[in-house]
Amino acid sequence: MIIRGRFIGDAPYFAVHLRSAYFQGLVWLLADTGASRTTILDRDAKLLGIPAEALEPASLPIVGIGGSVRSFLIRDVETALASEGEDVVIRQDLWVVQHDLDQLPPEEVSRILRLPSVMGRDLLNRFNFTCDYQAGNVRLER
């Protein structure tokens, strides 16, 4: 089973479909081996229309994403990826990080909203992750 990603510039991305009891939609995730958790950032939280009742305040602090942020968990999210073989559906909790955009100047808000959501090691490590930029090959396999 192989899930193929794509490079945007030099960065590896995968398309996923998320579904929970509160929302569903498509997200373009940056594969980030430096992130321990798959995390939805501000723009995608807006696009998905994640309601406040879906967000459970996270008990663990998030370090690494700058500025003043609030972190949340969304329980029991189904993450689906398109593969060349069998279907791939993984059910797990996801993290959501929201910056306090109302307190920031417009140019800073614009930059934060450009940040992609990330596919962290909690998902990547379920697969054999290949990221070969020179060959244009990024994929998840198992």
Write the single-letter amino acid at 123.
Answer: L
Query: Is 6 one of the binding residues for another protein (CB under 8 A)?
Result: yes
Q: Which stretch binds another protein (CB under 8 A): 17-25, 51-59, 69-77, 131-139?
A: 17-25
Question: Looking only at residues 39 through 98 of this chain, which bind another protein when binding is defined by CB under 8 A?
Answer: 43, 46-49, 64-65, 80-82, 87-89
CB of 38 to another protein, least distance (A): 12
**In 10 A of CB 121, how many CB atoms?**
16
In terms of Cβ atoms closer than 10 Å to its own Cβ (0-12, 13-18, 19+), residue 32 is buried
**In 10 A of CB 139, how many CB atoms?**
18
Residue in 112, 120, 138 with CA at minimum distance from that of residue 37: 120
Contact residues toward another protein (CB under 8 A) are 6, 8-9, 13, 15-17, 23-26, 28, 30, 32, 34-35, 43, 46-49, 64-65, 80-82, 87-89, 110-111, 113-116, 118
